Structure 1
Amino acid sequence: MSALGLTGVLGGCGAGGGSSDVTLTLVAADYGTSADTSSKKYWADLVERYESDHPGVRIEVSVHSWNDVDREVKEMVDAGEAPDMAQIGAYADYAAEGKLYRAGDLLSIPVQADFLSQLAEAGQVNSVQYGMPFAASTRVLFYNKDLFGKAGITPPTTWDDIAENAEALDAEGVKYPYALPLGPEEAQAETMQWMLSGGGGYTELGGSYGIDSTENVATFTWLRDELVGKGLTGPVEPGKLDRAEAFEAFAAGDVGMLNGHPSLMEAAGKKGVKYGMVPTPGVDGASGSTLGVADWMMAFNENGHRDEVGDFLDFVYSEENVLKFSRDYNLLPVTGSASRAMAAGGQDKDLAPFLEQLPTSELYPVGNTSWASVNAAVKKQIGKAVEPGGSPAGVLGTLQAAASRAESAE
C-alpha cells in the first residue's frame, strides 16, 4: 500500500536496558506516505509498551517499503535466516513448505476467534490457518467533485457512464479523465477490481484460475477500446502508471475518476481536493462485488520461540492496537472487536462505505501457493492487454497458461 523505500530497524531496550532472554525479529511493511508517517513509529510505540511489561523479551522490527519487503523476507528465508515473524503480502508458499506455525498453535483462543471469519478463512491452506490478517481495505470509485461540476456530469453507475464522463472531462482539459494504474506496483488490484465489475475474476467457482474467461477478455477489450484507445486515461500509459502515482495525481486535482482505497481520503483531503465516493460501476449498474485486500502476518518456526511469539501476537491483535493501526493508516480492522468499535465511533464515519462492504468483498486467491507467482506475472504483463492494438485475449491467455502451470505444481 506504500512504496517509500523506507527501511529501518527498531530495537527495543528491554527492562533497564539489560540483556534479554529472548530476542524476536519481525520484518514489516511500511504503510506510511512519508518519514513522519512511517510504520516505524507505530511499531516503536507498540514494542516499547510490550517490552515494558515483558522484561525477558526483546522485539526487533525492521520496516521496508512494499516494493522491497516480500523480497527481503524471501532472501532471509532462502538463506536459512528466517525472521520470527513477517508482516507481508502473501503467506501460502511458506505454509506449503512447512515453514510456518499454525495460527492456532500461537494465538489464544479469544484472539484467533476475533478475526473476521472471511479473512480468517482466506488465511487457510488445506483448511488450516497459517496466515493471520493484519490490515484490510476495500475499493470504491473516487471522483473529483469540482472537475465533475465544471464538466456538468454526475457520478457514474455503469461502464458507459464512465466512458461518457471521461470524454466530458477530457473536453475540459483534465489531465487524467480516468486514471487506470496497471503499472507494476499494484496492478493486480486494479485488474481484479475491473474483472469483478465485469462479472469475472482471477478464479472460477471451483477455485481454479479463469484469467482468460470470456468475461475477463470482454472487460479488457472494453478498457482498450473505450478508455485507453480514446486517450481518456492520461499522459502515462496504464502499464507504466503505478497506483501511488495515480493517487498523487488525484490529490493534485489532476484526475477525474479512479478506483481507490481509504488512504486516498486523507491524501486528497490534505490537498483540499473535494471528492466523492460511489460503489464501483459495473456493466449495467453497480458492481455485484468489490475487491477486498488483506495483508498478512505469519510466524516462522525456524527459530522456535513459539510461546513468546504467540504472546506478542496476542498483544499485537488486541482491540486497542488493531484500532490504532487502522486509524493511523486509514485501513479497515481485521478483528470483530475493532470493527465494531470503529462502526460505533463517530470519528471513523468516513470509513463507513469501506467497512460496510468488507464482509462481502472478494479477496485475492491468497490461499493458493501459486498466487505469488501469478501475482508477479500479472504485475509485469497486464498493462499490455489494454495497449492500443494490443490483444486482451492473447495477454490473458498467456497469464492463464502461466497460472495453470503454477497451479499444477502446487
Structure 2
Amino acid sequence: MGWIAAVAALGMAATLSGCGGEAGGGDVTLKLVAADYGSTDANTSKRYWDDLARAYEKKNPDTKVEVTVLSWKDVDREVAKMVKEGNAPDLAQIGAYADFAKEDKLYKVQDMVSVTTEANFLPLLSQAGEVHRVQYGLPFASSTRLLFYNEDLFTKAGAKPPTTWAELQEAAQKLKDKGVKYPFALPLGSEESQAETLMWMLAGGGGYRSKNGDGYAIASEENAHTFSWLRDNLVGKGLTGPVAPGRLDRQPAFDAFAKGEVGMLNGHPTLMEQAEKAGIKVGMVPLPGEKGKAKAAMGVADWMMAFKQNGHRKEIGKFLDFVYRDDNVLKFSGDYDLLPVTVTASQQMTDDPAHKELKPFLQELPTSVLYPVGETSWAAVSKSIKANIGKAVESKGDPQAVLDRIATDAQNAEAAE
C-alpha cells in the first residue's frame, strides 16, 4: 500500500559490529530500520519490533537486534540517505526495494532465508518482489482496497450499494440531495493519489501496465475513458464534495468518513477500524466497474530487504525466518488490520472468526494488482501521478493530455535507468 505516523527509536548513526565481509562467528548486532504503522505513541510499531527483538535475542544470545522506527513520511528517505552515506542498515522495512536491488546492494532472498520461509510467501507477492526474475524484496505487510460506504447515510438517502458506475453516480446524487458533504470522496491529492488512480484504472479495464505486462500503458484509451467519466459524472456534477479532488489527500478523506461526512470512498482495513471506533456503521463492496464488478482490485505491499554492506547474511536470514513465523506475522497483521503475506498465516486468519471483518479483503488479495514496484522507474512515475492526476478531473481538464504527460515522464524515467 504507503501508510502512517511517527516515532524515532534509536539514533540513526548507531555503529554496527562486524562490518565488512561475511560474519562467521562471535556476537553480531543487526540494525533494522522500520516504518511506523501506528498513529499514536500507544500503538506505534516500535512496541511490536522491540518485543520481537527481545524475544529473538533471548533465544539467540549471540545476536543483538537494534531497531529504529520512523514515520512513513520519513523512513524511505532516511534509509536512502543512510545507504548513500555508506551506513546502510542490515534490514529495512520500507515502501520500495527496486532501486537498491538495481545497485546490487541487496541480498537475494534465496541466499538468506530457509526454503520453507521462501516458499510460504503468497505467489503474487513473491513475484512482485522480483527484479529481472530474482527476488530481492520480501513482502512484509499487504492490503487490498474496497469501496466503503456509510450505512446510515445510505439508508437515509434511500441509496443502495453500487454494482456499476451508473449506480455509483445515482447513489452519490441521492446522498448529495440529502446534504451529505462528500457524497463520494475522491482523493487525488499528493498524499497517495497513485493508489486512487490505480483503483479507478482497474475498474475501467485499464491499469498502469499493458495487459501483457510489457511496459507502461498509462495513456491507454481505457484509462482516458475512466477519467473522462469521473470528470463528467462525479466531479462535474458536484458529487465529490467541497474540496477539489486534486487538493484532497487520503487521510483528510478518511478523517471525514470517520466524522460521518462522507457517503462513499475507497478504503483499506485500517479505515474500517478508525470508522467503527467513531461509531460509523461501515458497509463494504468491491469498487464497481462500468458495467459490473471490476476484473481486479488493487493490492498494496510494503517490503523488507537486507543490505549486503555489513556482511551479516547468515544472521539476517536466521532472524528473518523468525520474523516470518506465523505467530509473528499474525500478531503484526492483527495489530494493524493488515493482511498476512504468507500462505499459512493467511489461511489461519481466514479461518479465525475474530478476523471475519478482514475476510473481504483477504478474498481480493490473490487476484489483486499491485504497483509495478519491481521497476526502478516507479518512484518517478508515482511522483508524476501525484503531481498531475488531479488535473484530469477538473471541469476543463483533458484526461488524455494529463495521462500523456505522465506517460512521457514514465518513458523518460525508463530511459534514464
Residue number in structure 1 paired with 2:191: 185
8 A Cα contact 2:112 2:316, kept in partner: yes
CA offset digits 1:309-348 (Å, max 9, x no partner) = 1111111101110011111111110001101111111111
8 A Cα contact 1:10 1:40, kept in partner: no
* Equivalent residue runs for 1:111-260 within 5 Å: 111-204=117-210, 205-260=212-267
Residue number in structure 1 paired with 2:18: none
Residue number in structure 1 paired with 2:397: 390
Letter in 2 for 1:368: E
Q: CA deviation at 1:167?
A: 1.2
Cα distance in 2, alignment partners of residues 4 and 117 from structure 1:
29
Letter in 2 for 1:170: K
**Partner SS for 2:293:** coil
Q: CA deviation at 1:61?
A: 1.4
Residue number in structure 2 paired with 1:5: 6
**Partner SS for 1:9:** coil
Q: CA deviation at 1:41?
A: 1.0
* Equivalent residue runs for 1:278-317 within 5 Å: 278-317=285-324
Q: Does 1:68 align with 2:85?
A: no
Residue number in structure 2 paired with 1:16: none
Deviates more, 1:369-378 or 1:188-197: 369-378
Q: CA deviation at 1:8?
A: 2.4
Letter in 1 for 2:40: S
8 A Cα contact 1:67 1:185, kept in partner: no
Residue number in structure 2 paired with 1:44: 50
Cα distance in 1, alignment partners of residues 398 and 307 from structure 2:
42
- In the alignment, which of 33, 39, 44 is matched to residue 39 of structure 2? 33
Give the paired residue count.
403
Cα distance in 2, alignment partners of residues 2 and 379 from structure 1:
16
Letter in 2 for 1:346: P
**Partner SS for 2:386:** helix
Residue number in structure 2 paired with 1:17: none
Cα distance in 2, alignment partners of residues 382 and 73 from structure 1:
28
CA offset digits 1:360-396 (Å, max 9, x no partner) = 1111111111112111221222112112212211111
CA offset digits 1:53-88 (Å, max 9, x no partner) = 122222111111111111111111111111111111
- In the alignment, which of 333, 348, 366 is matched to residue 341 of structure 1? 348
Cα distance in 1, alignment partners of residues 93 and 410 from structure 2:
25
TM-score in terms of structure 2 length = 0.94
Q: CA deviation at 1:249?
A: 1.0
Residue number in structure 1 paired with 2:107: 101
Deviates more, 1:26-35 or 1:134-143: 26-35
Letter in 2 for 1:57: T
Letter in 2 for 1:45: D
Cα distance in 2, alignment partners of residues 8 and 267 from structure 1:
25
Cα distance in 1, alignment partners of residues 360 and 214 from structure 2:
28
Cα distance in 2, alignment partners of residues 106 and 185 from structure 1:
34
Cα distance in 2, alignment partners of residues 80 and 389 from structure 1:
49
Cα distance in 2, alignment partners of residues 152 and 111 from structure 1:
50
**Partner SS for 1:8:** coil
Q: CA deviation at 1:408?
A: 2.7
Cα distance in 2, alignment partners of residues 394 and 206 from structure 1:
23
**Partner SS for 1:58:** strand
Cα distance in 2, alignment partners of residues 395 and 64 from structure 1:
34
Q: CA deviation at 1:207?
A: 2.4
Cα distance in 1, alignment partners of residues 148 and 107 from structure 2:
40
Letter in 2 for 1:7: A
Cα distance in 2, alignment partners of residues 9 and 230 from structure 1:
51
8 A Cα contact 2:6 2:39, kept in partner: no
Consecutive unaligned residues in structure 2, runs of 5 or more = 15-25
8 A Cα contact 2:300 2:371, kept in partner: yes
Letter in 1 for 2:5: L
Q: Does 1:267 align with 2:268?
A: no
Residue number in structure 2 paired with 1:409: 416
**Partner SS for 1:379:** helix
Cα distance change of structure 1 residues 313 and 326 upon mapping to structure 2, 3 Å threshold? same
Q: CA deviation at 1:23?
A: 1.5
Q: CA deviation at 1:353?
A: 0.5
Deviation beyond 2 Å, 4+ runs, structure 1: 1-12
Q: CA deviation at 1:231?
A: 1.8
CA offset digits 1:80-125 (Å, max 9, x no partner) = 1111111111111110110100001110110111101111011111
CA offset digits 1:281-312 (Å, max 9, x no partner) = 11001111110111110011111111111111
Q: CA deviation at 1:10?
A: 8.9
Cα distance in 1, alignment partners of residues 8 and 202 from structure 2:
35
TM-score in terms of structure 1 length = 0.96
